[in-house]
Amino acid sequence: MTRTNPTIRRPPTDPSPRSRAPRSAARDVPRSGASRSDVPRSGASRLPAVGRAAPRSGAPVGTAAGTTPGRSRWPTVARIGAWAVAVVTVAVVMFVFVFPTRTYLDQRHQLHLAAERLRILDQQDAALSARADTLRSDAEIERLARERYHLVRPGEQAFGILPAPDPAPTTPAPPPASRGAGGALWHRLTTWLP
């Protein structure tokens, strides 16, 4: 069983955030040099701080004129500040981790391609070096001279073997075209010319 103190006034409960009562009496402390002892206790009447104008009529007691009761601008400023910090943090993370990571991966891919090209070039270099070593030997020089240039040593004779001639085409010659009346006459006149 709970007992309520009849001297403490409790504000009516309203779910809207504007009508919420302040959570502590410390919020109602005037900022112009007043101390905590100047804050009225529950049940006592609230007086404006010294050096401040009294609130306008119609404004709830304990609030400054022109502001909504129970709300200050600090939550809004804090929310904007939190968003700004979040945006800056995301930008820093992007510049510190994401962009360098992409660059690192691109460079790694290019390094892999360059290593592959280097491996192929090393293989080609080794093959060409081996070929150059064989071309420096006397036996290889003689072989190439005989094969490509048909050269012989002094006292030797060179023989060339010709390939077999191609067989004549076996297709019959086409029949002579029919010469018209003028063609036969022309043929008779031109056949005696050498």
pLDDT of residue 101: 86
Establish if 27 belongs to a structural domain: no
Containing domain of residue 122, as a range? 74-149
In a domain, 90, yes or no: yes
Does residue 184 lie within any of the structural domains? no
Give the relative orientation of helices 138-149 and 99-135 as an angle to the nearest 10 degrees: 80
Q: Could you read off the pLDDT of 136-157 as tens digits, one per residue? A: 999 999 999 999 998 999 999 9
C-alpha distances in Å from residue 53, one per residue of 40, 49, 56, 62, 156: 17, 8, 9, 12, 133
Domain count across the chain: 1
> 164 in a domain, yes or no?
no
Please indicate, yes or no, if residue 174 is contained in any of the structural domains: no
What pLDDT band is residue 170 in, cutting at 50, 70 and 90?
A: confident
Q: What is the pLDDT of residue 193?
A: 73
* Highest-scoring range by mean pLDDT, 97-101, 107-111, 144-148: 107-111
In a domain? residue 160: no
* 123 part of a folded domain: yes
3-state helix, strand, coil in the chain (%, to 5): 50, 0, 50
